[in-house]
A and B are shown apart, each in its own frame.
Chain A
């Protein structure tokens, strides 16, 4: 079943030199699966996620031939309708819990905010839901964490709180924009594992946006490789080594390996990539 289908998505920003297109005619569809979007800074991957969430405001312009989520047309949806979708049916996990959690509100209250906005539950029922969400992200002592402020928890814990905040409404689509880049390697696995588990158990669709090709390949069913606003290659999870586009191959080759014996790492030849386009 298709959750989200996007055709010919374009995002344009005005500049002194005329309009600059950062997403150039992207088409993809997402079912109840894990879709990875990979690319470097400036490839337009985050803009794609934000465009779907309706988070790109003026002066940028978002256009698409089709942008449907659960059968609803997202284009030109009034802000009030979008707000009813965001956080309830689709939600987003951002990169750094340090900046995306409100520092002066207790964690439990922040998670409850979505419930307060989207549901008619009373305070007691909200509280129960919050604790349940914290347990779902494997926080051992949810009562205590709910009472804490964001600065009192570690980065990995903060990111789990972010995920709890997202899953408390049981959305159909989860967009995770670099959810583990700000975390230690040791907790990265855990956080991904938690997300993976939630996606499988609750049958959500996951859009995992990252620059880390290898990580995405391990965790997703399907990968889109983006370069300069376009999808240059689509790969199944196991087919990373079969990547054929020079950009994908270049990215893969430039990652150091644990048994590294190359005297120099190969670097992307951007001029050649430009010429090949």
Chain B
């Protein structure tokens, strides 16, 4: 579903990704793990068409992307880290969810918005509320609902739970897992939290300074069988903190 081959990204004189390659098959959940500055979010940005200067090959759902191309909004959508920053403060939940439908001239908006509220577990009475009237977890549900309005097969998740309380994180992680099973979605998740990977993903790649250090199956992660020294270091840090 997602294919990345030898992706190189430069910001001015600095190269932030030095030839990264990986594939994600349909219905799979793949994690990119690393510290700040490792380039994990840049990969998501490149896939979302927000990076100008890149080379290599990127394919989404079988079609190749060209330089300066943005993928179609119906192909891929993104969920961001901070639900406080990613929603328009003056637009109600209904506006936020209806907008993509209006832009893409999709009818039956009323029913679709209500169905989506149900799908992400938001009570229907929240439909006309503004973001400041919602809690962090509810806002992240709205952000996920917005991403799913156009029924894209691929979701890019950039630290979707790291701004939330642990008990709320559990709710959102359960929601993401359930939605994937239900709609056969493909996830590309960026995180620094290995236990989240363990819960939500099938495979992971560990990035360091713009290069993939290690690729592993989630079973290897669960059993602590990461092979590179850096991978082990990350594993140790997250078990001992």
Contact mask for chain B residues 217-228; partner A; CB cutoff 8 A; 1 contact, 0 none: 000011110000
| Size bracket of the A interface | 20 to 34
A77 sits at the interface (CB 8 A):
no
Q: Is the CB of B170 within 8 A of A266?
A: yes
Q: Is the CB of B199 within 8 A of A265?
A: yes
What is the distance, in angstroms, from A21's C-beta to the closest C-beta of chain B? 19
Q: Is the CB of B170 within 8 A of A265?
A: yes
Q: Is the CB of B235 within 8 A of A258?
A: yes
Q: Is the CB of A267 within 8 A of B174?
A: yes
Q: Contacting A211 at CB < 8 Å: which of B36, B165, B237, B241?
A: B165
**Complexed CA–CA distance, A267 and B36 (Å):** 29
Q: Is the CB of B35 within 8 A of A184?
A: yes
Stretch with Cβ within 8 A of A (4 or more), from B4-12, B107-115, B190-198: B190-198
Contact mask for chain A residues 152-195; partner B; CB cutoff 8 A; 1 contact, 0 none: 00110000000000000000000000000000111011000000
Q: Contacting A251 at CB < 8 Å: which of B166, B177, B224?
A: B166
A-B contact count (CB 8 A): 86
A79 sits at the interface (CB 8 A):
no
Q: Which residues on B sit within 8 Å (CB–CB) of A184?
A: 35-36, 192
Residues of B in contact (CB 8 Å), total: 33
Tell me whether chain A's interface is mostly helix, strand or loop, or mixed.
loop
Q: Which residues on A sit within 8 Å (CB–CB) of B171?
A: 267
Contact mask for chain A residues 248-273; partner B; CB cutoff 8 A; 1 contact, 0 none: 00110011111111111111100000
Q: Is the CB of A258 within 8 A of B170?
A: no
Q: Is the CB of A211 within 8 A of B166?
A: yes
Stretch with Cβ within 8 A of B (4 or more), from A2-10, A98-106, A108-116, A213-221: A213-221
A234 sits at the interface (CB 8 A):
no
Q: Is the CB of B177 within 8 A of A264?
A: yes
Q: Which residues on B sit within 8 Å (CB–CB) of A260?
A: 195, 198-199, 222
Closest A residue to B195 using CB positions: A256
Q: Contacting B165 at CB < 8 Å: which of A40, A189, A215, A259?
A: A40
- A-contacting residues, B37-51, CB 8 Å: none
A68 sits at the interface (CB 8 A):
no
Q: Contacting B167 at CB < 8 Å: which of A154, A188, A259, A267?
A: A267
**Complexed CA–CA distance, A256 and B218 (Å):** 14
Q: Is the CB of A256 within 8 A of B241?
A: no
Q: Given the known A-B contacts A185-B237, A212-B166, A213-B166, are A256 and B199 also in contact in the complex, defined by CB atoms under 8 Å?
A: yes
* 10 A-B contact pairs sorted by A residue (CB < 8 Å): A41-B136, A184-B35, A211-B165, A211-B166, A251-B166, A258-B198, A258-B235, A260-B199, A265-B199, A268-B170
Besides the contacts A189-B237, A258-B195, A258-B239, what 11 more A-B pairs have beta carbons closer than 8 Å?
Answer: A40-B167, A185-B234, A188-B241, A214-B241, A254-B169, A256-B195, A256-B198, A256-B199, A258-B194, A258-B198, A264-B177
